[in-house]
Structure 1
Amino acid sequence: MTEFNFDTVFDETMQTHNLDTVVILGHLNPDGDAAGSVMSLAHYIHVNYPQYRVFPYLAKTLERGPKKMVVEDKIFVPFEMPDISGKQYCVIVCDNATLERMIGLEYYQNAAASIVVDHHASNEGYGDVNWTKVSEACAENVYHMLSSELLLNAAQKEAYPNAADYIYLGILHDTGGLARANQGIFQAVADLMAMGVDHGRIMKTLHSDTLDILYKRADILHGAVRAMDGRVAYVIMGQKEIAEKDITYEDIHCISTILRDCDDIELGFTMYEEEENGWRCSFRSDGKWINVNELLKPFGGGGHISAAGLKYQTDNVEELKKQILDRVAEMKKKQ
């Protein structure tokens, strides 16, 4: 896909529709990449387009690590839904593949114009303008679509955390602390650091565990089950166990990654019953042993080749697990 000039598209959209307000959204239970993408654009517009009012919205369910940065923000407090009643506005959606997973969906539905910036292969193609480029992080796409001169201006005009800091946050979190970085990402990281980003300070957002959290995580991992000659490992937690052990989705979300990163595991996944018969599942692989985006397509899920999710309604999670493992076996036979 060709590169995307955000400033041209944004300026034309605002002027064509005669708008003066922008709402910026991410996905449900936002992570570092969603927060970094949303907040970097909010600060970029705030500094370089002061004629527009900007409202980023992340919700209170923002992950603990990136929240460390956002609570230090001097300009925005994006945890409450903005009151823009009676206003015509443009909505910008970042790091969100499907309408089902969007935070603040009603803002998108009532917007006069919409711009979508994403990096998921499973993006539905929604929005008036949709720029989806498959990459390691949506924040990486944000970096490449912005004017370097205007981004530097935004970084220099505001204290930490500014637009450059937030882009760095998004890249850092969606690449596992740069573990999955490529040459282009390292170039972006170097450019951002030249703008004043403090790598060590933002690295601290990756480390937000407490001893109690580690105890709980160890208990969850103790319930992991192996499959397919030990190459796959998974954890299933129903509502009864969740209530007894006080397990939140944030507690279990990282488990699929921890399993995948084990030297003897190729695919890690979790199944979490967030409501009665409503299962939220997270899948992680290296993208080579199995493409988890393709794995989950028949079930209505998706994401990236190495990280994908699924929300599924069923009263028989064991059957769902069996169907997924059967599909893994089928895909492996065709490789």
Structure 2
Amino acid sequence: MIFNFDREFQSMMQEHNLTIVILLGHLNPDGDAAGSVMGLAHYIKVNYPQYKVLPYLADTLDKGPKKQVSMDKVFNPFEKPDVEEKYGVIVCDTAVLARMIGRKYYEGAEASIVIDHHASNEGYGDVNYTKTSEACAENVYYILDENKLKNTIDCEISPTAADYIYMGILHDTGCFNRVQVSTMQAAMKLLEMGVDHSYVMQTMYKDTLESLQKRLELLKRAERLLDGAVACVCINHAECETEEISYEDIHPISGFLRDCEDIKLGFTMYEEEENRWRCSFRSDGKWINVNELLQAFGGGGHAAAAGVRKRTNDVEKFKQEILERIIMMRKFSVQDK
């Protein structure tokens, strides 16, 4: 049965006699989380004006998508919702409760709808629609009424619901570097509706000369592992402070490493605070499934892109545990073939 957002949304609001809906994403939101949350917020506002819509995103939103959100004429999603009445919640692009921004709003809601695309989704929420795909925003597109989505373009100036959904797809696919037929079909339909590709593409341009110079220095730290098939950049908290390196600086590095012709898996290890490491992994999803790899350590995501946070005072031991699991998974993968 095809998930129908309009039916599920109206059912939630009417059955619980609600007039307010809060939309949430994950901690340190990316373009997909922002696109999904803001796209749905505008869709509801235009098509269901009887309801008050309150999107909420962490102000640690990636710099690129923040450009578009900052131009929003309707919502300021960086302000925490102030609600006294009962309300419903919609959560987007968030696989596990531990990663949710504004979790207190979810826990205080009368009812909830979850829309996600992670294979590792916990299945939480009163209504949970999780379909593994290239972007949560792609799932959002396919569950909406096409005429009502087109209505948002006719009724509002940019950024509209369609602009945001397109932004989400653009960011989570790396400008369509990782797509399925359904992804491209969704993108084409959004363009046909009136989305301006060049306008949304501005959210992809976030480099400065300084950021490129930092990236160069980080890439110089890359270490080859497992006979050169794997590359890693590891930076501790003291180095981060001394060299003024933020997570935003190091986050793209795993993707750059993965995209090298001679590298199968790229990952970064960033000590965001003493003994707390934030790690990002990128592969093609075939040589190694990084979602499966990191689930053993409490992380997860997608086959080709996943992450994990780990508290440890011995990061080298943690790194070795990861490498040993890679070796084991590769061994079983070869045997299966």
TM-score, with normalisation over the residues of structure 2?
A: 0.98
1:169 to 158, 167, 170: 167
Q: State how far apart, in whole Å, the 2-side matches of 1:81 and 1:246 are.
A: 29
Could you list the runs of 4 or more consecutive aligned residues of structure 1 that deviate by over 4 angstroms after TM superposition?
Answer: none
Give 1:62-77 correspondences, 5 Å limit: 62-77=61-76
Partner amino acid, structure 1, of 2:163: D
1:282·1:308 contact (CA, 8 Å) conserved in 2? yes
Q: State how far apart, in whole Å, the 2-side matches of 1:325 and 1:156 are.
A: 52
1:233 to 222, 231, 234: 231
1:260 to 258, 261, 274: 258
1:59·1:81 contact (CA, 8 Å) conserved in 2? no
Q: State how far apart, in whole Å, the 1-side matches of 2:262 and 2:117 are.
A: 29
Q: State how far apart, in whole Å, the 2-side matches of 1:7 and 1:83 are.
A: 25
Following superposition, the deviation at residue 111 of structure 1 comes to 0.7
Partner amino acid, structure 2, of 1:66: P
Following superposition, the deviation at residue 29 of structure 1 comes to 0.6
Per-residue deviation, residues 225-252 of structure 1 (Å, max 9, x unmatched): 1101111001111111111111111111
Partner amino acid, structure 1, of 2:332: K
Q: Which residue pairs with 1:17 in the alignment?
A: 16
Q: Which residue pairs with 1:119 in the alignment?
A: 117
TM-score, with normalisation over the residues of structure 1?
A: 0.98
Q: How many residues align?
A: 333
Is 1:272 aligned to 2:274, yes or no? no
1:293·1:301 contact (CA, 8 Å) conserved in 2? yes
Q: Secondary structure at the match of 2:307?
A: strand
Per-residue deviation, residues 102-151 of structure 1 (Å, max 9, x unmatched): 11111111111110000000001111110000000000000000001111
Following superposition, the deviation at residue 221 of structure 1 comes to 1.1
Percent identical across equivalent pairs? Answer: 62
Is 1:106 aligned to 2:93, yes or no? no
Q: State how far apart, in whole Å, the 2-side matches of 1:113 and 1:323 are.
A: 40
> Which consecutive unaligned segments of at least 5 residues does structure 2 have?
none
Q: State how far apart, in whole Å, the 2-side matches of 1:143 and 1:238 are.
A: 40
> Which consecutive unaligned segments of at least 5 residues does structure 1 have?
none
Partner amino acid, structure 2, of 1:107: Y
Q: State how far apart, in whole Å, the 2-side matches of 1:144 and 1:271 are.
A: 35
Partner amino acid, structure 1, of 2:61: L
Q: Which residue pairs with 2:25 in the alignment?
A: 26
Q: Secondary structure at the match of 1:233?
A: strand
Partner amino acid, structure 2, of 1:218: L
Q: State how far apart, in whole Å, the 1-side matches of 2:59 and 2:295 are.
A: 30
Partner amino acid, structure 2, of 1:71: S
Partner amino acid, structure 2, of 1:94: C
Q: Which residue pairs with 2:50 in the alignment?
A: 51
Q: Which residue pairs with 1:151 in the alignment?
A: 149
Q: Secondary structure at the match of 1:299?
A: coil
1:122·1:302 contact (CA, 8 Å) conserved in 2? yes
Q: Name whichever of 293-302 and 134-143 sits farther off.
A: 293-302
Partner amino acid, structure 1, of 2:55: P
Q: State how far apart, in whole Å, the 2-side matches of 1:101 and 1:247 are.
A: 23
1:231·1:267 contact (CA, 8 Å) conserved in 2? yes
Q: Name whichever of 301-310 and 180-189 sits farther off.
A: 180-189
Q: Which residue pairs with 1:288 in the alignment?
A: 286
Q: Which residue pairs with 2:185 in the alignment?
A: 187
Q: State how far apart, in whole Å, the 1-side matches of 2:42 and 2:52 are.
A: 11
Q: State how far apart, in whole Å, the 2-side matches of 1:74 and 1:237 are.
A: 39
Q: Which residue pairs with 2:314 in the alignment?
A: 316
Partner amino acid, structure 2, of 1:3: I
Partner amino acid, structure 1, of 2:171: H
Following superposition, the deviation at residue 3 of structure 1 comes to 2.3
Is 1:39 aligned to 2:38, yes or no? yes
Q: State how far apart, in whole Å, the 2-side matches of 1:106 and 1:125 are.
A: 18
Q: State how far apart, in whole Å, the 2-side matches of 1:18 and 1:275 are.
A: 44
Q: State how far apart, in whole Å, the 2-side matches of 1:82 and 1:224 are.
A: 42
Is 1:306 aligned to 2:301, yes or no? no
1:256·1:283 contact (CA, 8 Å) conserved in 2? yes
